[in-house]
């Protein structure tokens, strides 16, 4: 397994130079303490924890896995101790509200800490990872008593949280949900049902687990309009906020999985467990979106994290592995062969990894900043930020995980046969990365959300909000070295708008056209979105070189060369996606179902 080295220079570039975070946070009430010095210090300490504590547990955790016995889950050696150190360092409280024991810092910092921890050891991060969504949900929808009982312990990390949606018969289609919530005389509810695929649903790392559960009231309407949301703790909590008797929720088993084997994925049985309604009756799905949107950005981080680790491993190997001679003459004349990094095909793969990873980091951090603006900006600023998040979150979740998986597979390819062997760790990255395209709504679900709800459903308003940012960049008259990027980006933006209109018109005649186009539309949108961020990074890098030719020229020059690679070799993939979109729905829907048989 590659030893993780946090990409601190690139993180600093995105946070401090590209997104100018300190300047932004000085304008957002409550975030004024988020200076560059403070943010850099926090990120550096989180990097040390990730590199020195979590990374060494990654491969051993995969090999050992979790153990289930009589409803109890034991995590791999070192996991619980690492979690206690994580809590002692105050990482769970970083971006939580001060009045609940949090540090009140921007969400961006929590996103970065999660990237660092997740790249080092994604299975481990799954245990505290969903707690942030639980905190946000209780903060937004809990009553004062619920906040008093649960928030401070969740914020400190003494307790962890889960999200309990999925059942055997329902995944993304929550309208099929069957778990029941029966009202009790004391105002609580008895929860009956079984939830599956519950990450960190049972473990030995925290004293209590707070389950956020979707269930139906007896008189609830059918479908998604009849779902309510409940807090169901593993241990009940008394009026003083202390742990009381065990609740009737138990782990029936843990899944045997393709990857993230050190993360306990649980089947939970709710056998009349005491639950507490959170938010209005039959509005649980609306409340749960607070949790789900947080989780979707968190899943985008997974695509970035696995891509980063695969790139680091591949780059190190490509520099050391000797094979063949360069076609243009020996580059290592004193050795028996040249390092494989000199070969064009290996360069193609490494640059693909680098371009997707660094572009994805810019997109995800931008999304995190928009969340901070929603939280702390004025009404107008918050609405603009919320609109941008609405459009870009499904792109971030789906596109970054799809390309992150591609990057992970490239890592195996660069290692050749060694990549297929367990001891090198590259195959683990692929196995661990595969779930990211399924979590929090598959790529197809995210694509339908993007095209159906966000673009067509808003009459193009949300898309126009982002393309206005592209127009602003294109109108800024960058240095001559960057005009090619700008011209290409402008052309892609115009085509993106035209394609959106064409799909909308076709869907008015045949609704299947939207479903047929959706995934290719999302991927097309993802490539153009990353082109925007790569164009921004290129313009900024050229300006830095021009302003300070004695500065960090090599870093900025690498950005420019990676941008050129992205525009020349990755962005043209939009041409294939456009052709697939325009081919229509008939080639998918005309064949009768019976003809699928062999």
Catalytic residues: 440
pLDDT tens-digit map of 357-412: 999 999 999 999 999 999 999 999 999 999 999 999 999 999 999 999 999 999 99
Q: Which of 76, 39, 54, 62 is nearest to 5 (CA)?
A: 54
- Residue 343's alpha-carbon distances to 290, 318, 328, 522, 562, in angstroms, are 47, 10, 10, 33, 17
pLDDT value of position 133: 86
Taking residues 68-72, report their average pLDDT. Answer: 97
DSSP 3-state assignment of 233?
A: strand
**Are the CB atoms for 236 and 188 separated by under 8 Å?**
no
| Residue 477 pLDDT level (bands cut at 50, 70, 90) | confident
Percent of the chain predicted with pLDDT > 70: 100
Q: Which of 77, 469, 303, 6 is nearest to 15 (CA)?
A: 6
Q: Which of 264, 310, 524, 296 is nearest to 433 (CA)?
A: 310
DSSP 3-state assignment of 182?
A: strand
Q: Which residue has the tokens 């570039």?
A: 13
pLDDT value of position 287: 83
Distance CA 458, CA 370 (A): 19
**Are the CB atoms for 190 and 275 separated by under 8 Å?**
yes
pLDDT value of position 303: 97
DSSP 3-state assignment of 202?
A: coil
- Residues whose CB is less than 8 angstroms from the CB of residue 408 and which lie 6 or more positions away in sequence, other chains included: 306, 307, 310, 426, 429, 430, 433
Pinpoint the alpha helices (H) of 55-157. Answer: 58-64, 79-88, 107-120, 122-129, 131-141, 144-156
CB neighbourhood size of 98 (10 A):
12
* 8, pLDDT greater than 80: yes
Angle (nearest 5°) at CA 184 between 181 and 185: 160
- Residues whose CB is less than 8 angstroms from the CB of residue 182 and which lie 6 or more positions away in sequence, other chains included: 189, 190, 192, 218
* 293, pLDDT greater than 80: no
* 26, pLDDT greater than 70: yes
Pinpoint the alpha helices (H) of 416-482. Answer: 426-434, 443-448, 461-474
* 289, pLDDT greater than 90: no
**Are the CB atoms for 123 and 261 separated by under 8 Å?**
yes
3-class SS string, 292-309: HHHHHHHHHHHHHHHHHH
Taking residues 301-326, report their average pLDDT. Answer: 98
What are the domain boundaries of the chain? 288-446, 459-588
Q: Which of 123, 89, 366, 162 is nearest to 263 (CA)?
A: 123
Stretch among 49-58, 165-174, 284-293 having the lowest mean pLDDT: 284-293
| Residue 291 pLDDT level (bands cut at 50, 70, 90) | low
* 468, pLDDT greater than 90: yes
pLDDT tens-digit map of 551-592: 899 999 999 999 999 999 999 999 999 999 999 999 999 999
Residue 476 — φ and ψ, nearest 5°? -85, 0
Whole-model pTM above 0.95?
yes
In CATH, 288-446 is 1.20.140.10? yes
**Are the CB atoms for 191 and 232 separated by under 8 Å?**
yes
* 535, pLDDT greater than 90: yes
pLDDT value of position 292: 72
E strand or H helix at 388, and its extent? helix 379-415
């Amino acid at each position: 397994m590659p030893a993780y080295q946090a990409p601190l220079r690139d993180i600093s570039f995105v946070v401090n130079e590209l997104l100018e975070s300190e300047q932004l946070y000085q304008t957002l009430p409550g975030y004024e303490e988020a200076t560059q010095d403070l943010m850099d210090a926090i990120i550096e300490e989180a990097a040390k924890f990730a590199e020195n504590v979590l990374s060494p547990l990654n491969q051993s955790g995969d090999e050992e896995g979790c153990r289930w016995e009589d409803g109890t889950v034991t995590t791999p050696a070192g996991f619980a101790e690492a979690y206690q150190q994580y809590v002692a360092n105050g990482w769970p409280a970083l971006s939580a509200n001060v009045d609940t024991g949090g540090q009140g810092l921007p969400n961006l910092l929590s996103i970065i800490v999660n990237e660092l921890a997740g790249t080092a050891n994604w299975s481990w991060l799954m245990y505290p990872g969903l707690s942030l969504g639980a905190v946000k949900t209780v903060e937004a929808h809990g009553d004062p008593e619920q906040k008093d009982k649960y928030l401070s312990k969740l914020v400190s990390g003494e307790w962890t949280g889960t999200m309990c949606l999925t059942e055997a018969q329902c995944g993304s289609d929550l309208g099929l949900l069957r778990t029941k919530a029966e009202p009790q005389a004391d105002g609580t509810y008895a929860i009956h049902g079984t939830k599956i695929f519950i990450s960190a649903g049972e473990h030995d790392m925290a004293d209590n687990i707070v389950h956020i559960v979707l269930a139906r009231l007896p008189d609830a309407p059918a479908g998604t309009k009849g779902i309510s949301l409940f807090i169901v703790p593993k241990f009940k909590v008394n009026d003083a906020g202390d742990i009381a008797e065990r609740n009737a929720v138990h782990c029936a088993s843990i899944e045997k999985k393709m990857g993230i084997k050190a993360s306990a994925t649980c089947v939970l049985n709710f056998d009349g467990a005491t639950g507490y309604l959170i938010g209005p009756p039959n509005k649980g799905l609306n409340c749960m979106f607070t949790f789900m949107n947080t989780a979707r950005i968190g899943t985008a981080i997974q695509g970035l994290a696995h891509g980063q680790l695969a790139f680091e491993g591949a780059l190190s190997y490509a520099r050391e592995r000797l094979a063949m001679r360069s076609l243009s003459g020996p580059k290592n004349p004193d050795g028996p062969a040249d390092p494989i990094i000199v070969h064009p095909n290996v360069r193609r793969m490494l640059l693909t990894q680098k371009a997707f990873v660094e572009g994805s980091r810019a997109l995800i951090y931008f999304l995190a900043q928009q969340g901070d603006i929603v939280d702390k900006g004025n009404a107008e600023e918050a609405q603009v930020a919320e609109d941008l998040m609405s459009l870009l979150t499904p792109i971030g979740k789906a596109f970054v995980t799809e390309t992150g998986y591609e990057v992970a597979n490239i890592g195996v390819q660069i290692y050749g046969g060694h990549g297929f062997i367990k001891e090198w760790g590259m195959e683990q990255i692929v196995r661990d990365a595969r779930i990211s395209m399924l979590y929090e709504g598959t790529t197809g679900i995210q694509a339908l959300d993007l095209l159906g709800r966000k673009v067509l459903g808003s009459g193009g308003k949300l898309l126009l909000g982002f393309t206005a940012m592209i127009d602003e960049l294109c109108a800024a008259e960058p240095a001559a070295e960057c005009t090619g990027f700008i011209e290409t980006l402008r052309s892609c933006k115009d085509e993106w708008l035209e394609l959106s209109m064409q799909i909308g018109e076709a869907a008015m005649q045949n609704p299947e056209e939207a479903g047929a186009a959706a995934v290719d539309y999302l991927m097309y949108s993802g490539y153009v979105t990353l082109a925007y961020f790569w164009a921004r990074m290129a313009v900024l890098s050229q300006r830095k070189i021009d302003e300070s030719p004695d500065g960090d020229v090599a870093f900025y020059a690498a950005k420019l060369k990676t941008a050129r690679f992205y525009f020349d070799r990755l962005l043209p993939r939009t041409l294939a996606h456009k052709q697939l979109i325009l081919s229509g729905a008939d080639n998918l829907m005309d064949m009768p179902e019976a003809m699928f048989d062999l």
